[in-house]
Chains A and B, each alone.
Chain A
Amino acid sequence: MKYLILMQVDPAVLENLTEEQQTLIGEGHQAFMARTKESGEFVATQALADPSQSKVVRSRDGVPEVTDGPFAEAKEFLGGFYLLDVEDEARALELARQIPDASIEGLALEVRPVMFSDLGDL
């Protein structure tokens, strides 16, 4: 079963990380990727740019209109994700706990099941 682990981040929290914490996060993600690749559970991961770089496309009177800025004004935003294929939800949660963000106050991970996948012509 595929699960998407969404990394919800708070820029204020990221700003105030110590040097040591930053290193731990970087190394932690590298190790996490290596581990899930080794176990045959890794599908993909992406890190996203700051939401200030976002454009929003939405309908205005039935016509798509483009505006600047994030979709929603919120303290937390989607910083990136892991797409994993695991045996069950318990395993997805076990893996989510190993992501360094899970041990940093103010950051959070959202684990959601995937219903449909098309990764293109593999």
Chain B
Amino acid sequence: MTVGGEGLWRELVPQTLARLLRTYGREQIDLCEDAVQDALLAAHRQWASEVPADPLAWLVTAARRRYVDRVRSDHRRRDREARDALLAEPLSGPVSSAADDSLLVLRLCCHPGLPRSGQVALTLRAVAGLSTAQIANVYQLPEATVAQRITRAKRRIAELGHALPRPRDDADRLPPVLDVLYVMFTEAHHTTTGEPAHDAGLAAEAIRLARLLREAVPQDTEVSGLLALMLLTEARRPARLGSDGRLIPLDEQDRGRWEPALVAEGLSIVESSVVGASPGPYLLQACIAALHAQVGDTASTDWREILALYRLLEVTTGGRNPTIALNRIVAEAMVYGDGTGLAQVDELARQHPGLPRLAAVRAHLLERLGRGGEAAEAYRQAIRETRNIAERQHLRTRLRRLG
């Protein structure tokens, strides 16, 4: 995914789309979004020689013209009068800020009535301004498959019609948007496509969109928490993979290779958000990442504080997320000893057999307890169960090290 000179017009995508939606109605999202993509293509060709004085006005005008062309050529539309009335409607309405526009379009694309894959694909296109081909490339999917997901998502939004959330009416409309952006980000971290540039591009898009969201709702601590969590996680990227493609776990990472600028920004966002906040799940996870980022290694980490935060996170999420429980147990082991951790892991395994990373955590605890034979068996199980090549290589290294 190359961003390069596309930066300027891609930033204007949500604003352009929001203006069209405000003029023609949100149920027209299918045609409006196609029209914006057409306008982007035109901008690609024409702005290479000269960028217009008012790029947003240029894009809106171009997109509006394409929209009109598309409506005219749409033979399925029989109600000519209604159509003409629609086109005659002037391009006006209350003046909206770029932040409001981004929020409107983000909420639309992340509507909880859409399947996750549809939310992600539509967000990447209609908010991030990527082409269908670029999205297909990131996910290693045929372009037709991605195009179909986007079309279905837009149709679904049109069907949902007036059930759509109004912009800025309350904060509880935000969680679906946060979840979509976080999925986009973790997909970039968890997959190993063999071409890290693809993954890095996706993570960069997720961070860009989280920034956009924070500009729109700067007072929302969960939005700030999400952005900080992404920055603090992304900071570790240079230290996460060995030259052989092996995953390097947190306790073995050379923290000198963490991106200092990302760490600093993440920490500063956490610090300015925690004051007086009753923290939600994203801010809590950002706080945990911040504690890791403030020290040089695992030994000097404040594990008691991390354990307290994981317990709070477990309560906040209703105790329903076994992955959070597993992370909490890792902290328990650091505070109360590996034996305590192992007993809790075994209990969790009874409730959630096959939980990702559980066998790996168990193997690690057994190894530290000096139970080599059982540790080897647990590592073998973890190798069989993982679906991540980098993690599998790391586990094989650990298994070999046991001897």
Contact = CB atoms under 8 A, between A and B. Distances in A.
A57 interface: no
A113 to B, nearest CB: 5
Interface residues of A, number: 18
B140 A38 contact: no
A10 interface: no
A42 B142 contact: yes
A115 B387 contact: yes
Interface string A107-122: 0000001011111011
B194 A43 contact: no
B194 A122 contact: no
A40, A41, A116: most-surrounded residue (chain B CB, <10 A): A40
A38, A42, A85: most-surrounded residue (chain B CB, <10 A): A85
B387 A40 contact: no
Interface residues of B, number: 26
B193 A116 contact: yes
Interface string A32-49: 000001111111100000
A73 B388 CA distance: 32
Interface in B132-182: 133, 136-137, 139-146, 148-149, 152
Interface string B98-124: 000000000000000001111000000
B60 to A, nearest CB: 29
A119 B146 contact: no
A122 B272 CA distance: 43
A87 interface: yes
A85 B145 contact: yes
Contact of A122 (B118, B142, B149, B152): B142
Interface of B: 115-118, 133, 136-137, 139-146, 148-149, 152, 192-195, 387-389, 392
Interface of A: 37-44, 85, 87, 113, 115-119, 121-122
Which 3 pairs between the two chains have the least Cβ-Cβ distance? Answer: A40-B149, A40-B148, A117-B140
25 contacts: A37-B144, A37-B145, A37-B148, A39-B152, A40-B146, A40-B148, A40-B149, A41-B145, A42-B142, A43-B142, A44-B142, A113-B387, A115-B192, A115-B387, A115-B392, A116-B192, A116-B389, A117-B140, A118-B140, A119-B140, A119-B142, A122-B136, A122-B137, A122-B141, A122-B143
